[in-house]
Amino acid sequence: MSDPRIAQLEQQVAGLAARNQQLEAHLASLEQQRAAASQARVSAVKTGGRWLLPLLDRSKVVRSFGELADTVGRMTGPREQWPTREDILERARLFMESCVRFTVRRRTSFWLFSVLAASIPFLQLWVVVQQNEIIRNQNEFFEIQVHDVVSRSMTEGDRNARLMTGALLSRANLTFLADVVDEAFDPELAGIYSAGGTRAAKRRLEDAAFRGFLIRAVSRGVLLRADDDRDELVEVAQPMMRKIMVDAADRVPSLMRFGEGEGELDPELAEQASNYLFQLGALVRTYGRVARSEGLEEEFAADLRPLLRRVSSLKLAGNRFAEAYALAMDGVVLDAAESLELGDADIDWGRDDRDVEAARERGIAALRGALGSEGINWDAFAQQL
């Protein structure tokens, strides 16, 4: 009987032999691949050499000329050593063929190099265009991030976050701020599509709250740029201020109506709504200064008239927003009384030598002369102040 251990060893030896055959086949395959790669490199070198060596080495031309000279030189010896006519023609043909091939290859190679050299500036331009495209996409992505931060701060942040965002916007690019205002004060966003919406005090106060900080950014942004080019400033700033005042003609009466109610309002929202009224007055003052300094009094009057028609007859007794509204409108009247222009310093009306009542009368008279009396109750407006 055979020993089972011997049978097991024989099986292991057979397995090792099969494994050894597989490894030898794999090594042979690797050797073939390496040989093929080496042959390909040699072929590439030879091909490149056939093109490049004629540019550097004229040995074939010189050699063929030497062979032609040797052949012709044999005619100086004994007659029996003279070359045949066919030998001379063959050597001459090889020499001329070498010269022609050398010339053609050299010119062809120079032409290829010239084309490559001429294409480099175009490649550089293409790279620059691609880089500019990448930069443009990065800028667009950055603007999207900025828009997201601004929108979140103005709508989801607390009062301090809105205040800081408005302060940053006042220092930002005025064109960017104009785009923000153009969308935030779009008339479609002010639409109310249900009867319940007209009585939704919390929502209407929220609508006014964040707009107050945007209005401050606009008025401060214009005042901070009083020394800039006025034509460019008016071109960007006037549409912003006009859109805000068009929005205010409907928003202020609605807001004042909520101030008349007996229901409780969120104190924080009520405070920010009062801020909206005060900042609106500051913006009207800024618009008035720009108009007086740039000869835009008629445009200013046309933009202010709809607002005063809506608010001049409002009853302020018992209204929780009466103080903010009166303070805002009083500033507009006092600015008109002194005909302040863009860049003028604010007047301290708290000094004892200031006759505020006389200035208020002059301001109302100035506004009445500019806006007219059609649809505006000037007497009631004076009583509001």
- Quick one: pLDDT at residue 48? 59
Cα–Cα dist 287/223, whole Å: 10
Cα angle: 51, vertex 54, 59; to 5 degrees:
145
Q: How many other C-beta atoms are found inside a 10 Å radius of the C-beta of residue 284?
A: 27
Give the model confidence (pLDDT) of 53-91 as tens digits.
555 456 677 777 777 777 777 778 787 778 888 888 888
Give the model confidence (pLDDT) of 188-233 as tens digits.
766 665 555 556 678 788 888 888 888 999 999 999 898 888 899 9
Cα–Cα dist 232/230, whole Å: 5
- Quick one: pLDDT at residue 59? 67
* Contacts with 243 (C-beta within 8 Å, 6 or more apart), sequence order: 181, 182, 185
pLDDT for residue 47 is more than 70: no
- Quick one: pLDDT at residue 100? 81
pLDDT confidence band for 307 (50 / 70 / 90): very high
Among 43-47, 50-54, 85-89, 293-297, which is the least confidently predicted range? 50-54
Cα–Cα dist 146/151, whole Å: 9
| Contact between 364 and 381 (Cβ < 8 Å) | yes
As given in the structure block, the two tokens for residue 159 are: 């009062």
pLDDT confidence band for 306 (50 / 70 / 90): very high
Average pLDDT over residues 11-15: 79
DSSP per position, 71-130? HHHGGGS-GGGPPPHHHHHHHHHHHHHHHHHHHHHHHHHHHHHHHHHHHHHHHHHHHHHH
Q: How many other C-beta atoms are found inside a 10 Å radius of the C-beta of residue 343?
A: 11
- Quick one: pLDDT at residue 206? 83
